[in-house]
Structure 1
Amino acid sequence: MDMELGPLKPEPVELLFGLLCFLLLAWLLGRRVLPRVERVLAERHDAIEGGTERAEALRAEAEQAFEDRRRELDRARHEAARIRQEAAEQGAALIAAARAEGVLERDRLVAEAHDRISVDRTLAAVSLRQDVGELAVDLAGRVVGESVAAVAAQRGTVGRFFDEH
């Protein structure tokens, strides 16, 4: 099979040498250049797409942290409101207890004062009766011109007068 290819007919040594160079070049490209190209493309993809993915992951993490802090803040606000409510209730209870204690003390003091006034009134009435009786007897003695104290004491005139009135 001898085909006439004219100027395109290659020499078998040149064809073999060209094929060998092609295979050597393909092997070098497959072993050295293509892995580097793939690595550079992967790095570029990682830099572009991976940066976006990392940024998205960081954003999601930041949102999660924000929600956690917000929930924690809400719990703290709720706890503060509960503590304020407890303090207000305790304050109201203390005020009520102090008021009740004050009312009891006031009632005790008023009762003591009433007792003291009653005793003082009784003593004053006894003293006034005695003084009025003495003044009345003295006045009667002056009107009559002689002392009537012995007669008044013997008859109990002053005591009967006060007993009737």
Structure 2
Amino acid sequence: MTPIHLAGLVAESCTGDNCVKEPNPLVPAVAEIILIAVIFLALWYLIAKFVAPRFEQTFAARRDSIEGGIARAEAAQAEAQAALAQYQQQLAEARGEAAQIRENARAEAQRIVEDLRAQAQEESARIVARGEEQLAAQRGAIVRELRGEIGSLALELSEKIVDQRLSEDAQVRATVDAFLADLEQRDGAGSASGGPDA
């Protein structure tokens, strides 16, 4: 029977006086440990030299992008707030201008109405004055016409009363003229005092 010693790195199998030492399969060989250490150091060097800086760059770019996005969002929000304040100010100014325009339009309309009223009053006064002038001219024409008719009627009436022709007599003509002049004076006095002829 072969006794196996597991206490060391190698197992021993003995047959008689002859013992053979065999390596332990659980413990790696020194060459393997060195090879694994060299590969580990090479991988660590490659990761430290190439992968980690790229990772740091990507991480920094991502962090800058996020922080820049936040800063841009804050700047955009501040700009929007400023634009809103400016819009509200312009809206208030526009409302003030609209109120001023309405007030000016009301004042202009009032002025136009007053001008039209004054023009209408002037036109009315002019029409009344022209009417009064026409009435005065017509009255004068009627008075002259009536004077001639009254003179003729007075002569006819006098002839009928006296039963003779008085039209050739100069004294009769003077009497009729005096009578008509007296009528004119009475008519003028009645007009001046605001009598019924006025």
TM-score by length of 2: 0.57
Distance 1:160 1:36 in 2: 135
- Give 3-state SS (helix, strand or coil) of 1:146's partner: coil
Q: 1:86 to 1:160 in 2, by over 3 A?
A: closer
Q: Secondary structure at the match of 2:84?
A: helix
2:102 and 2:48 mapped to 1: Cα distance?
75
* Structure 1 gap segments, 5+ residues each: 1-5
Q: Render the CA deviation track for 1:33-86: whole Å, top value 9, x for unaligned.
A: 223333444455466665455444433333332332332233233333333333
Residue of 97, 116, 141 corresponding to 2:159: 141
Match of 2:45 among 18, 24, 27: 27
Q: Aligned-pair RMSD on alpha carbons?
A: 3.7
Shift in Å, 1:128: 1.7
Unpaired segments ≥5 residues, structure 2: 1-7, 10-26, 187-198
Give the number of equivalent residue pairs: 159
The alpha-carbon distance between structure 1 residues 124 and 37, as it changes in their structure 2 partners (threshold 3 A), is same
State which of 82, 90, 106 in structure 2 corresponds to 1:72.
Answer: 90
Aligned CA distance change for structure 1 residues 65 and 155 (closer, same or farther; 3 Å)? closer
Partner of 1:148: helix, strand, or coil? coil
Whether the 8 Å contact between 1:141 and 1:148 is mirrored in structure 2 is yes
Higher strand share goes to which structure? 2
Matched, 1:162 2:180: no
Separation of aligned partners in 1, 2:32 and 2:181: 171
Identity %: 30
Separation (CA, whole Å) in 2 of partners of 1:66 and 1:130: 94
User: 1:3-18 maps to which residues of 2 (within 5 A)?
Assistant: 11=30
Q: Which protein has greater RCO, CA pairs closer than 8 Å, 6+ apart? A: 1
Question: Which residue of structure 1 lines up, in the alignment, with residue 101 of structure 2?
Answer: 83
Q: Is the 8 A contact 1:141 1:147 kept in 2?
A: yes
Provide closer, same or farther for how the CA distance between residues 160 and 60 of structure 1 changes in structure 2, counting only shifts above 3 A: closer
Cα distance, 1:153 vs structure 2: 1.4
Which protein is richer in helix relative to its size? 1
**Structure whose CA Rg is larger:** 2
Report the TM-score, using the length of structure 1 for normalisation.
0.65
